[in-house]
């Protein structure tokens, strides 16, 4: 038998554990790993080994839960020396993107993808109305149907639907039986939710046709898994990769029943090797049905394949001090083989202003120490609404930054609504220099106002096409904005909204002084607008926080025109700064698989982190993910009087009366 030589990576020296994974001849292998133990790099080594021993990259499929994890795996392959053209040939995709590609008909148009709760809301109400109109309902006394406009019901329903599809509980347990109150209870949901769910799915799937009307988040995975569960096989899917030699799954702890059903079909329909890697303490998608149970004996039970297991134990990303803190949080031993140590410090603040000052000081110190190498610094947030004051300070200090997992607050819809009204009031749309921002601004005006575009002779055309045409016209000629607002928005909204808009424009045109924007928002009755438009409680809270931050910043300006020009200049400045090496301002959940030299995690305070609306275990895992992105330094910022419960779990004193030196 010919000797198999290990692939020799560039820039790293693999450990014995990594080499064992890279060279393993096991057909089915699961890697139990800790955070920072180089999971993604180790998968890249296994892929590189397969390529150098003759496997065409096209016959290797690597699946992840998020697009960010896909990018991290591609970066890891390049880092260890796999040529970029070869990296591009590996099939690397999120589960949902892979499933959408498998379901796509060769000559048909792609299924519409809808990703926001606001856009899904009409279909939920249509489902509610179907249930309400059903005269043959057997248990009407069990139904608790919502009143029109109940955003809380929509939010709760869509969250339940995401979990029910991820777990596939209804599909696995229904056995073609009727929907009864007892059955709904067995599923762990209400009878009303179950009835609306089934009606919603009939609408989405066009009364159970082959091609759905639309897909929401992760629906492609669910649709494929459901088809397989109902008896379809890989043979019925024209695009199915039948000649795969290797399948890999990164972040395997994020798998749910739907993605596992797809994985089963891949393993059953090919003779491929399989390698999955995960960390049971990084499950942060429990609301999607994610469960580390699929890292257990599920593959053996469902496919008959024996599973070999190998560990990736010590951290290579961070040193002993951070490993100790991570071990405290995860309640397990944690070691490090990193050649460097990782400083850990806790800084305390009394209010948001002091927290932002502390962040700015850390940013400036890093900027000086690294001579402007800002890309190694990340500020990780639990909620997007926490970015406003930080972004304003970064812009004021001339610090380049990019955002990940959310839009800059300058481009969030509620802020774009204000910018749009100010553009109309000042008749100065051309100062918005970026065409894409002009488009987003117009869409925000239509979205919040609930306007319908009306064009004589074009009544047969869709609102989508009419709006796209209007956007092109105004984007090309900003002078048309005032006419569009006057002739299309004001006449085509509800009378109450029309009055709000007119009052807000009057304030913007006539008022002066530091409270101008606050008065504009009051005239607009922005709290009511936000309640009417947004479904999610957290999204409504974030929107109001964004606008409160905007209003606070506007106090430094004497008129609406001055502040409007400032916002446009700030966006332009942010875009210009972004072209240089930039600090990363990100949602924690969006940086899984990534690493940074210095990580800051602010707002560790009661009511903020952990989020009281989320399971505590999931919040702890989220903090664990954020902390373990750091290589050289981790800085935590906690409220001095109301620290997060996690602060004590990390080993700090209950009373955080002073900033702590690096641990």
SS (H, E, C) 507-571: HHHHCECCCHHHHHHHHHCHHHHHHHHCCCHHHHHHHHHHHHHHHHHHCCCCEHHHHHHHHHHHH
Q: Are 169 and 186 in contact (CB under 8 A)?
A: no
Say which residues have a Cβ less than 8 Å from residue 433's Cβ, sequence separation at least 6: 568, 572
DSSP character at residue 109: P
**Dist CA 345 CA 469 (whole Å):** 54
The DSSP line for 433-456 is --HHHHHHHHHHHHHHHT-----T
- Counted residue by residue, the chain has a size of 663
Say which residues have a Cβ less than 8 Å from residue 99's Cβ, sequence separation at least 6: 220, 221, 223, 224, 225, 262
Q: Are 239 and 104 in contact (CB under 8 A)?
A: yes
DSSP character at residue 254: G
CA 353 to chain centre: 27
CB atoms inside a 10 Å sphere around CB 152: 11
**Dist CA 260 CA 251 (whole Å):** 13
**Dist CA 202 CA 212 (whole Å):** 9
CB atoms inside a 10 Å sphere around CB 465: 12
660 is in an annotated binding site: no
Q: Give the strand pairing for 214-215 and 112-113.
A: parallel
Say which residues have a Cβ less than 8 Å from residue 304's Cβ, sequence separation at least 6: none
165 is in an annotated binding site: no
Q: Give the strand pairing for 308-312 and 28-33.
A: parallel
Quickly tell me which residue has 């048309």 as its tokens: 480
**Dist CA 265 CA 274 (whole Å):** 12
Q: Are 425 and 445 in contact (CB under 8 A)?
A: no
Can you read off the two tokens belonging to residue 20?
Answer: 């064992």
**Dist CA 72 CA 76 (whole Å):** 6
**Dist CA 408 CA 78 (whole Å):** 29
Say which residues have a Cβ less than 8 Å from residue 582's Cβ, sequence separation at least 6: 374, 375, 400, 401, 402
40 is in an annotated binding site: yes
Q: Are 6 and 45 in contact (CB under 8 A)?
A: no
Q: Are 647 and 656 in contact (CB under 8 A)?
A: yes
Cα Rg of the chain (Å, integer) = 27
Phi, psi angle pair for 138, to nearest 5° = -80, -30
Is the C-alpha dihedral spanning 146, 147, 151, 154 positive or negative?
A: positive
Q: Which residue in 264, 253, 261 sits closest to 296, CA to CA?
A: 253
Q: Which residue in 619, 567, 543 sits closest to 422, CA to CA?
A: 567
243 is in an annotated binding site: no
38 is in an annotated binding site: yes
Pick out the residues of the known binding site.
33-40
Pick out the residues of the known binding site for ATP.
33-40
């Amino acid at each position: 038998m010919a000797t198999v030589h290990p692939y020799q990576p560039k820039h790293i020296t693999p450990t014995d554990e990594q080499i064992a994974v890279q060279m393993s001849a096991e057909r089915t292998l699961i890697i139990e790993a800790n955070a920072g133990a180089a999971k993604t790099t180790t998968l890249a080594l296994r892929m590189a080994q397969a390529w150098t021993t003759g496997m065409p990259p096209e016959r290797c499929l690597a699946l992840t839960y998020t697009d960010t994890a896909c990018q991290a795996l591609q970066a890891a392959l390049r880092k260890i020396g796999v040529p970029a053209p070869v990296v591009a040939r590996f099939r690397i995709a999120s589960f949902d993107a892979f499933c959408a590609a498998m379901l796509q008909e060769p000559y048909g148009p792609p299924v519409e993808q809808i990703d926001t709760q606001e856009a899904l809301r009409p279909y939920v109400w249509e489902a509610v109305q179907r249930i309400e109109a059903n005269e043959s309902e057997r248990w009407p006394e069990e139904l608790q149907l919502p009143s029109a406009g109940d955003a809380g019901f929509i939010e709760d329903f869509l969250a339940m639907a995401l979990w029910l599809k991820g777990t596939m509980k209804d599909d696995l347990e229904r056995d073609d039986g009727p929907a009864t109150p007892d059955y709904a209870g067995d599923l762990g949901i209400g009878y009303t939710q179950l009835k609306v769910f089934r009606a919603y799915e009939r609408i989405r799937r066009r009364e159970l046709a082959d091609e759905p009307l639309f897909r929401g988040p992760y629906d492609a995975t669910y649709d494929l898994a459901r088809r397989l569960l109902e008896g379809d096989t890989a043979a019925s899917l024209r695009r199915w990769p039948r000649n795969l030699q290797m399948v890999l799954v990164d972040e395997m702890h994020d798998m749910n029943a739907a993605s596992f059903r797809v994985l089963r079909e891949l393993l059953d329909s090919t003779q491929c090797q399989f390698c999955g890697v995960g960390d049971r303490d990084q499950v942060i998608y429990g609301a999607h049905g994610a469960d580390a149970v699929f890292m257990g004996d599920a593959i053996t039970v469902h496919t008959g394949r024996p599973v070999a297991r190998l560990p990736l134990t010590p951290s290579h990303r961070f040193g002993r001090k951070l490993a100790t803190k991570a071990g405290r949080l995860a309640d397990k031993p944690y070691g490090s083989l990193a050649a460097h140590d990782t400083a850990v410090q806790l800084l305390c603040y009394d209010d948001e202003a002091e927290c932002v000052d502390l962040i700015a000081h850390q940013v400036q110190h890093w900027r000086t120490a690294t001579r402007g190498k800002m890309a190694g610094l990340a500020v990780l947030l639990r909620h997007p609404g926490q970015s406003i004051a930080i972004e304003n300070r970064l812009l004021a200090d001339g610090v380049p930054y990019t955002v990940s997992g959310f839009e800059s607050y300058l481009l969030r819809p509620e802020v774009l609504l204000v910018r749009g009204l100010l553009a109309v009031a000042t008749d100065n749309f051309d100062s918005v220099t970026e065409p894409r921002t002009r488009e987003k601004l117009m869409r925000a005006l239509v979205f919040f106002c609930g306007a319908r575009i009306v064009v004589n002779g074009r009544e047969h055309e869709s609102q989508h096409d009419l709006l796209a045409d209007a956007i092109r016209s105004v984007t090309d000629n900003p002078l048309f904005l005032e006419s569009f607002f006057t002739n299309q928005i004001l006449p085509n909204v509800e009378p109450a909204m029309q009055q709000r808009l007119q009052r807000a424009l009057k304030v913007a045109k006539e008022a002066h002084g530091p409270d101008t924007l606050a008065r504009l928002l009051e005239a607009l009755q922005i709290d009511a607008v936000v309640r009417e438009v947004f479904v999610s409680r957290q999204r409504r809270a974030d929107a109001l926080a964004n606008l409160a931050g905007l209003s606070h910043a506007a106090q430094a300006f004497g008129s609406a025109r001055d502040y409007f020009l400032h916002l446009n200049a700030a966006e332009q400045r942010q875009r210009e700064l972004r072209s240089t090496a930039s600090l990363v301002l990100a949602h924690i959940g969006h940086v899984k698989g990534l690493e940074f030299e210095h990580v800051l995690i602010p707002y560790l305070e009661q009511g903020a982190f952990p989020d009281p609306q989320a399971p505590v275990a999931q919040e702890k895992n989220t903090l664990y993910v954020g902390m373990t992105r750091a290589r050289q330094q981790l800085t935590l910022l906690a409220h001095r009087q109301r620290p997060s419960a996690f602060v004590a779990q990390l080993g700090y004193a209950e009373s955080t009366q002073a900033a702590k030196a690096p641990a």
